[in-house]
Structure 1
Amino acid sequence: MSIPASAVFGLNLFSALAKIGAGTAGGLFISPLSAYIALILALNGAGPLSSTQRELWTVLTQKQLPNTLAAANTAETALNSEASALMKALAAQSSSNGTQLTIANAVWTNKTDVLKPYSDSMLKLFQAPVTAVSSAAPINDWAVKATRGLIKTAVPANSKFKAVVTNAVYFKGAWQYQFSPSSTYKRPFTTPANKQVQVDMMGKGFYQADVKWAEVAGQFRAVKLPYKGSKIVAVAVLPDQKAYKLDAAAALAGIGLSRILNAPWQPASAAEPKLQVSLPKFKISQEMLPVGQALKALNVTAAFNPDVANLDRLSKDDLFITDVTQSVVVIVDEVGTEAAAVTSIMVGATAFIQETTPPIVFDRPFIFMLVDDASSSVLFMGVVKDPTQMSVK
């Protein structure tokens, strides 16, 4: 299966954030989906064939924008349609038996008039209403509601802005096969500093066909755990310690999404005698990850330069992007997973199989993702370095 551009963008963004030291001592998590959709809304406001449009297009699609206006418009229309369809397909996975998945978009203005073609298009394609505000308070209230209270700040209270483009993604899913709290026990976890900390380790033996596992010799072992009533799966990847030491972020970049998602996945029913999985409980809370700084490292610079930026399809005012941030919360326990992300764009003026299947024990830094198994879209992506050091404000 080919890896969608949104997932490739997500890995590039994650790697750029890791290189600048974003995250906590416990790990780093992002929502590729949230950043991708928010930046598409910004792309639609960029001036035709401007350097702003070209750079945003390239970072999102890994392609060059066509050189003619007609071809560029056609390409952007196709991208908008794909993103809109993806939003609808993912939102349709919310079910009455446990899975909740919502995606919300909004554009906020402060003494800036948004052009009607832009506002009409964003409302139709992405259900993104334009709302006039005089402070950050209504934006943060929206974030609280959109993430069921997990994220309380989308924009700092004292921020000065002319416009803000926001996206929120919220997921809550119960494991199809839940871990028993009575099987959770204290176990040592080896951190990147090669120190051992005691963590709450969940344990379970799986034999069901819809639980998958994979192994690529010298690279990684991994497991896919399904959620009730959804095609969303948790993908936990344990990098080979000899190849990647204890650096899960380097392993994610080195292994790549294609090798993980297209691994030789096998059903747990093929394991002998059962597929034994040990996974630590964890909660990570990260506020205001410096996505803007990472985008600049990915060669998106024109949009941040007041002398060069062109957002002429958004407003008649001379605007530029002042910052892009993302806040993320991910909670994993015996019942399931709850995760939320808010991306804010602030705008200012000027394989190997053994006969007996060994257990997969996530007792050292590992990769954890929420993936739509149908489209390979990555909703959340991150690495767990130390489950005891993951919350920060």
Structure 2
Amino acid sequence: MKSALYLCLLLLGLQVQGQLKSNLNDEQQEQEIAHFSEDHSQAEGENSPHAKIAPSNADFAFRVYKQIREETGNKNIFFSPLSISTAFTMLSLGVRSNTLSQLHKGLAFNLTDMEEQEIHAGFQRILQLLNDPHREDQLSMGNALFVDDRLKLLKKFLDDVRNLYYSEATSTSFQNPPEAIKEINEYIETKTHGKIVDFLQDLDPQTVMVLVNYVFFKGYWEKPFSPLSTRDADFMLDAKNSVKVKMMHEKKHFNIHRDEKLSCWVVEIPYKGNATSLFILPDEGTMKQVEDALLKETVSSWLKSLEYREIYLDLPKFSISGYYDVKSLFEKMGVTEVFSDQADLSGVAENSNLKVSKAIHKAMVDVSENGTEAAAVTLIEIIAESAEFPPPPHIKFNRPFLMMIIDKSTDGVLFMGRIVNPTAKEE
């Protein structure tokens, strides 16, 4: 019989109002993460650990996006690739043999290019940079393990998750599911500032561990939109159907790029601090073409091609969320063994035969005049088996578009999504 482990990732993003103060996982994590030198609060160059894993993390982000697109069809998409990859990479500390090789491949890590220890050092550095208390934006990322009293974690696994991912193990009695669920949900609600409530609904009877990863980001635009200019407008769902939205309007200088090859506009809207957002507006009928071209090379080219120009910008206020079965996504991406009877998680605990039974992710985003709010959660369960300047262009985001939130200090894609209906509610 295989025992059960839940892995839960939670990501909460940009918020319009509130204090600009980082909220770390807990006091001990706060102290540990703060120990890194202030002199290294900016990106340290291409040889730094987080820079070495950035291309793989970007590849993973776009792979997951395209897999979600296949499953959701023409619906809104919003998720945190960094949250998902951090949780599974942390779990990989206890994964062995072919299960580990398959997981690394699914996460887009090539061990011929980097060593396993460099991968974990990269995520450790990302955690340090995202939790830097001196950031102007509010950004925090943390991990937690909820462990059944009967499960004896191996000292090396426990030390590694503590030292590399700043995660502590909390003793939890999964023999009392209602109390365990309440404890985990209270943790998630606290770390997401009340944005994700009652996320965990049930536990498999064989659950012995739940791993939680959360990301929280609250940012303010460098140049806020004027609420006085916001007014009702039509957002075209397709050629014939539209919905009413609150459309923000500005005539200002932005970094923009017109990609003639892909037939789309790219507009960068930076936040105060080290985070920025990219809004990509495909021409009518070219969304699939742009989505198919979503690769790290494409985004890198966009960022290098941005020009500071005055434009008329129309951008809708919106609030959307997404919920995804990451287990299903991973299996369709070729990561199957970690969910099967052949799973080798022998590096996690003593005398236990573990596998992942569930992996889920939830994300939300709220964009308005002052900034953005976003949140996400992923849960994985391992169970017992059973050019020249013409007049300013008018760029109207009044039809389906793409969005990315990027942390500049780590070159990490914090969130990405597709907005096809700004008024759609969570299903």
TM over 0.5: yes
Per-residue deviation at 1:153? Answer: 3.6
Match of 2:221 among 162, 175, 187: 175
Q: Contact (CA 8 Å) 2:268, 2:278: kept in 1 or not?
A: yes
1:127 matched to which residue of 2?
A: 166
1:277 aligns with 2:322: no
Percent identical residues = 27
Match of 2:398 among 363, 371, 378: 363
For residues 295-320 of structure 1, what are the alpha-carbon distances to aligned partners after superposition, in whole Å with 9 as ceiling and x for unaligned? 001100000102x0000001130000
Q: Secondary structure at the match of 2:392?
A: coil
CA distance in 1, matches of 2:279, 2:133: 21
Q: Contact (CA 8 Å) 2:339, 2:382: kept in 1 or not?
A: no
Per-residue deviation at 1:242? Answer: 4.3
Q: Contact (CA 8 Å) 2:55, 2:296: kept in 1 or not?
A: no
Structure 1 gap ranges (5+) = none
Per-residue deviation at 1:326? Answer: 0.7
- Give 4+ residue runs of structure 1 displaced > 6 Å after superposition: none
1:311 matched to which residue of 2?
A: 345
Q: Secondary structure at the match of 1:349?
A: coil
Match of 1:114 among 153, 160, 166: 153
Per-residue deviation at 1:349? Answer: 2.2
TM-score by length of 1: 0.87
Per-residue deviation at 1:194? Answer: 4.3
Greater relative contact order structure (CA < 8 Å, 6+ sep): 2
1:251 aligns with 2:290: yes
1:7 matched to which residue of 2?
A: 58
Per-residue deviation at 1:192? Answer: 4.3
Q: Contact (CA 8 Å) 1:154, 1:344: kept in 2 or not?
A: no
1:90 matched to which residue of 2?
A: 130
Q: Contact (CA 8 Å) 1:103, 1:168: kept in 2 or not?
A: yes
Per-residue deviation at 1:392? Answer: 1.2
Per-residue deviation at 1:123? Answer: 0.6
CA RMSD of aligned residues (A): 2.2
1:76 aligns with 2:116: yes
1:102 matched to which residue of 2?
A: 140
Q: Secondary structure at the match of 1:235?
A: strand
Q: Secondary structure at the match of 2:357?
A: strand
Map 1:219-368 to 2 at 5 A.
219=262, 220-228=264-272, 230-244=273-287, 247=288, 251-263=290-302, 264-268=304-308, 271=309, 274-287=310-323, 289-306=324-341, 308-316=342-350, 317-350=352-385, 355-368=390-403
Match of 2:196 among 151, 169, 186: 151
- Aligned AA for 1:43? S
CA distance in 2, matches of 1:112, 1:21: 37
CA distance in 2, matches of 1:93, 1:221: 35
CA distance in 2, matches of 1:163, 1:192: 45
TM-score by length of 2: 0.80
- Aligned AA for 1:54? S
Per-residue deviation at 1:327? Answer: 1.0
Q: Contact (CA 8 Å) 1:173, 1:337: kept in 2 or not?
A: yes
Structure-2 change in CA distance of 1:132 and 1:224 (3 Å):
same
For residues 94-115 of structure 1, what are the alpha-carbon distances to aligned partners after superposition, in whole Å with 9 as ceiling and x for unaligned? 63x5x21010101122232211
Per-residue deviation at 1:193? Answer: 6.9
1:217 matched to which residue of 2?
A: 260
